Chain A
Amino acid sequence: MKITNQIKDTTIIITLDGELDASSSVMLDEALSDPEIMTYSKILVDCKDLNYISSAGLGVFISHLQRFEDAQIKLIFYNMQDKVRNVFEILGLDLLMTIVSDYEEAMTIADE
């Protein structure tokens, strides 16, 4: 699992590469718990190379969801593979979180 950050103005793009399982979700939790992340208005998560997400990985996003919502920070997922999207959908997360097809769409939603 590789997590990389890219910053564009008030947007932070987090790229997930690999499998988000119990052990790597700790890394993700650390990245999302960074107080600096609250200074951005949008968080874009690039899931192009995310091959698998475990319940622990989902749990990390869920635990931070409320916090971002309260701070009016938009959390947007894009480029998601079908099988990963299926996991989000089964759990019902597609109705809670913004999942879009590509970067452009993500940026336009983010700018709304």
Chain B
Amino acid sequence: MAKEQKFFLPYKLIKSRASHFVSPIKLSTVFRFMLYRTNAKSLFITAALISWSLLLANVLLAAESMHRESSNALDLPFVNNFLIVVFIISVFGFQRLSAENLKGIDFIGYLWNIFAKGGVAAYLSVALYMVYRMVTNYSSVQSPLLLHMVYQVNFGLLVLFLAKAFYVWRQLLLYHKNKFLQIAWDWYEILLFATLILTLLNFNYSSLIFMPLLGLIGLYTLFLCTNLKWVAYLTFNKKGRSLILLVAILLACYIFFDFFYDFADSPLLVIDYSDVGFLLLAMFFVALYTLASFLVALFSLPTSSVFEQKSEDLLNFQRLSQSIQQGQSEKQVYDMLFESTVKASDASAAWLEIFKGEKKDEIELCHQLTIEEEQIKRIRHLLLAYNIQHIDYINNNLDRNPGFRDLTLPWKSLIILPIKSKKHLFGVLYLLKDIEQGFDRETVNVLRTFTNQTILTIENLRLVHESLQNERYKEELKIASVVQDSLIPKKFPSDSWFEISTYAKAAKEVGGDFYDFLQLSESRIAIIIGDVSGKGISAAFHMAQMKGIFHGLMQQDMPPSEFMKQANSALSRCLEKTSFITSALYIIDYRMKGFMFARAGHCHTLYYNSMMDDTFYFQTDGLGLGIIRDKSYNNHVREMYYDYNPTDVMVIYTDGIVEARNPQNDEYGEERLRYMLTQTYHLEAEDIKYAIINDLEDFTGPTENIYDDQTLLVIKFKPTQPSE
């Protein structure tokens, strides 16, 4: 016993910890636990075998001595009782561990488990007893030793059966348990095992003192046997099968009870296992629970189809609502709707129309059940005549309506369920039944719930699709702005001839502004500014092309107008039809103190001439790149040469600056920009830039999202260095 105790305690301890396992993180612990379980199981088996064998030997020894001395006294009652208790605890402990493996809702599997591994024991014991009877009848020899053997084997089989049934019933009884039930059961188990102490101390449980206690335990058992939730989950077919199994188990109970009742207080035997109260109580529980299950299963047979239908409806609702996460298509949702509604209403014919596109006349007949297209056409025609084609409509007696009577349809009830949200009509579902009053209020409610759920699902599917599209668009913009950012030089060469200051701010939807420079020789630098039409990734892509063209062509050092001609010719072959690029190219020559430039549809260059103390725009002609895609472009671009003076200021920008708007929707404009330069030309390039940008921000007000990219370059020519 002490050995068993030691065993039970740590096992319980570990088990309570084991129930907290959620993930396989503590694999080592689980592994140790499993090892422990297998160890425990083999220990239980060994203990059971040893105790049973010792018991058998002891009983046979006692029987032999009784036979000789004709005395009925058992030599060592306490030793025997101890062995009985060890055997019972070992078998029950083993079954408790193996029953833990039973999981899930395959209840037939549970019942089969009891029958195959426990119930068969009963039939085995009957067979054994029959063989014994036959042997004794034929040989007409009374063999007390043989009888004791049979009795002892049957005792083993009984304990095996009870233990198996007891713990499988425990699993079922605790199905969908709550805390109270768990506690109630734990106490019941403890109480039951406590009765083994009576056996150990050789008390007679049938004495009057224990009667009320037994009665109370009986009531307790009765209360526990009312927990039969699992029966409700059986389908009609499964209930039928489980009834057969339950009868077989009941029969097993009866066989054992009958056998041990017959041999109770038999003078032929030295030992009487009906004295063990624990076995009686366990048998009482097993039999009662089997009986209760049987009765409940039997009487719930007629209603099980209703329960099945409801649970299937519920399952279908679930499937519909989960179809979004499973990434199913609209078609699959309609499939589900059609299947579920036909099943839920038990319709004899049905069809589903889905509207394709915005126009209502494009109908797709996507499902048809036992109905001809010809019949559908006739019914639809009639509904059109009544003008009730896309509204909720129930007719539970079609024969009473002359229009339907004339169609001579084999159906008597019709329900029309439009699948529509507030804004959109997705389709219409038609269900037909061959009996009158086929669609009662309950069914209609279920059907409406189905269609509502479908609408929700379809709309959500579309929303998810849209947001995915948006997400992709945003991602594209992010790439575009990264590309754009990488195309713009971060640093200009710091030179003693001029100072330059740049500003670039990208719009949220990324326009196509860019600028770049290339040192042509020691004294010459080319500066390009441009704006690609369009937005997003295609704009960024064209920008990259333009940058490539700039660096490629300017390696050959050509005048700006020639550059524009060749760039136009190059772009003509790769630019989309609706895209074009505006650009301006400046080649500044420090030594000559002048610059050459050409404009291709880009914003006019703002200039401050310090000699004349005047600010003005260079008004030159020049067509954007990619607008005319043949040689005739060459007539549309002009080149200009200008000598600069020290402290002259040149302002280069894109349309994002002059077309920036204030809340009143006025544009910033060229005039205001020019005015700003007249006020700031004496400052350094950096400060002129800040002055203009600050004024621009004052004008537009605080906005997070500017509409178009803004780019601004301020160049201020410096006086000649003394060293030159």
Contacts and interface: CB of A to CB of B under 8 A. Distances in A.
A35 interface: no
Contacts of B636: 92, 95
A58 B533 contact: yes
Q: Secondary structure of the B side of the interface?
A: loop
B534 interface: yes
A83 interface: yes
Interface string A67-97: 0000000000000000100010011110110
Contacts of B509: 22
Contacts of A62: 578, 580, 627
Interface in A2-25: 22
A29 interface: yes
Q: Secondary structure of the A side of the interface?
A: helix
Nearest to B628: A96
Contact of B627 (A22, A56, A60, A96): A96
Given A22-B535, A96-B628, A59 B579 contact: yes
Interface string B490-522: 000000000000000000010000000000000
B601 A92 contact: yes
Interface residues of B, number: 27
Interface stretch (B137-145, B183-191, B617-625): B617-625
A28 B449 CA distance: 44
Given A60-B578, A63-B577, A92 B623 contact: yes
With most chain B CB atoms within 10 A of its CB, the pick from A22, A56, A62, A83 is A62
Interface in B605-632: 621-624, 627-629
B638 to A, nearest CB: 10
A64 to B, nearest CB: 9
Given A22-B535, A55-B531, A90 B603 contact: yes
A92 B621 CA distance: 7
Nearest to B626: A62
B534 A56 contact: yes
Contacts of B627: 62, 65, 91-93, 96
A60 B576 CA distance: 11
A94 to B, nearest CB: 9
A59 B580 contact: yes
Interface in A31-77: 51, 55-56, 58-60, 62-63, 65-66
Contacts of A63: 577-578
B689 interface: no
B581 to A, nearest CB: 10
Contacts of B535: 22, 56
With most chain A CB atoms within 10 A of its CB, the pick from B533, B578, B600, B628 is B578
A22 B579 CA distance: 12
Nearest to B579: A59
A56 B533 contact: yes
A90 B534 contact: no
A91 B582 CA distance: 7
Contacts of A92: 600-601, 621-624, 627, 636
B667 interface: yes
A93 B534 CA distance: 18
B508 to A, nearest CB: 13
A19 to B, nearest CB: 9
Contacts of B531: 55
Given A29-B578, A90-B604, A55 B623 contact: no
B470 to A, nearest CB: 15
B716 interface: no
Interface string B664-685: 0101010000000000000000
Given A63-B577, A63-B578, A95-B636, A55 B604 contact: no
B239 interface: no
Contacts of B624: 91-93
Contacts of B433: none
A63 B253 CA distance: 93
Contact of B534 (A29, A59, A66): A59
A58 to B, nearest CB: 7
Nearest to B601: A91
Contacts of B580: 55, 58-59, 62, 91
A27 B636 CA distance: 30
B199 to A, nearest CB: 90
A87 B580 CA distance: 14
A72 to B, nearest CB: 17
B565 interface: no
Contacts of B600: 92
A92 B623 CA distance: 4
A96 B623 contact: yes
B667 A90 contact: no
Contacts of A65: 627
A68 to B, nearest CB: 14
Nearest to B532: A55
B533 A55 contact: yes
Nearest to B661: A52
Interface of B: 509, 531, 533-535, 577-580, 582, 600-604, 621-624, 627-629, 636, 655, 665, 667, 669
Q: Sorted from nearest, which 6 A-B pairs have the closest CB atoms?
A: A92-B623, A55-B533, A59-B578, A91-B601, A63-B577, A63-B578
12 contacts: A22-B509, A22-B535, A55-B531, A55-B533, A56-B535, A58-B580, A59-B579, A59-B580, A60-B578, A83-B667, A91-B601, A91-B624
Given A59-B578, A63-B577, A92-B636, 5 more contacts: A87-B655, A90-B602, A91-B582, A93-B623, A96-B628
